[in-house]
Amino acid sequence: MIGTCWYCGNDIEHEYEKPHNRLFHPECYQKFQIERDKQLNEYLKLKTEIMYERALRDMEKQDHICLADYYDEAQLVHDMAIADFNKFQSSDEMMTAMELVRMRVKAKVQFKLGRRRIDFLLPELKVALEIDGSLHKFKVVKDSQREIEILNKLNENDSGWDVIRIPTELIEQNLTKLVPAIKALYKKRQQLRKDNSGFIPLYWSRTNTMSQALAVNDKTLQDEAETPSSEL
């Protein structure tokens, strides 16, 4: 049968009565792939540049920040993002990276742990840092399951690790409070675990409520924790 090549527009012979996929001459498909990969790379680079620009603009809006103090940190984060388009998933993660570098907090970005990826692993603080956008209010089950897996894996051979979740709205309000907040939350969570047989009390957050509900298979508690609210 005769069809049309989706690259050059010329006739192409094929064996299908009604082909489900686009048809290409072998040499045309090779050219198509090269052009497609080039376009994808250009798109990802532009997307990354826009994300970076948004991060800088959000920082400029904060009265607590003098952007001149972040020049070297910003350049480092920009270079990391361009070298690997999957390094940062949002402008808030870029801002977080700049602040961690400025505060000399060692971090592993998009750290792979089993089948999970952690936004930032902070080895010296024993913290798995997750940056949560507003959509996480509706992902409490997945976040709880994810948190359980991360904690089990991190504490397998080295106890004292914890997961700290920081909402993006707080990063956009006052980035300079990020590191002090991480340290304070870690200290508080570790004390709560010590006082409550390793668990975080139910009132702390919906994610922790769900984590306990999943651990004891309490369906009623799971339903309560899954209900969206103004808190993460």
pLDDT in tens, 62-114: 998 999 999 999 999 999 999 999 999 999 999 999 999 999 999 999 999 98
Nearest CA among 104, 156, 162, 103 for reference residue 128: 162
Which pLDDT score is estimated for 220? 52
| The amino acid at 93 | E
Residues paired with 127 in a beta bridge: 122, 162
Give the Cα-Cα-Cα angle 44, 48, 52 (nearest 5 degrees).
Answer: 175
Q: What is the mean pLDDT of the chain?
A: 86
Alpha-carbon span 203 to 188, nearest angstrom: 14
The helix/strand/coil state of 229 is: coil
Helix (H) or strand (E) holding 67: none
Least confident stretch, 6-15, 78-87, 174-183, 218-227: 218-227
* Whole-angstrom distance, CA of residue 192 vs CA of residue 170: 23
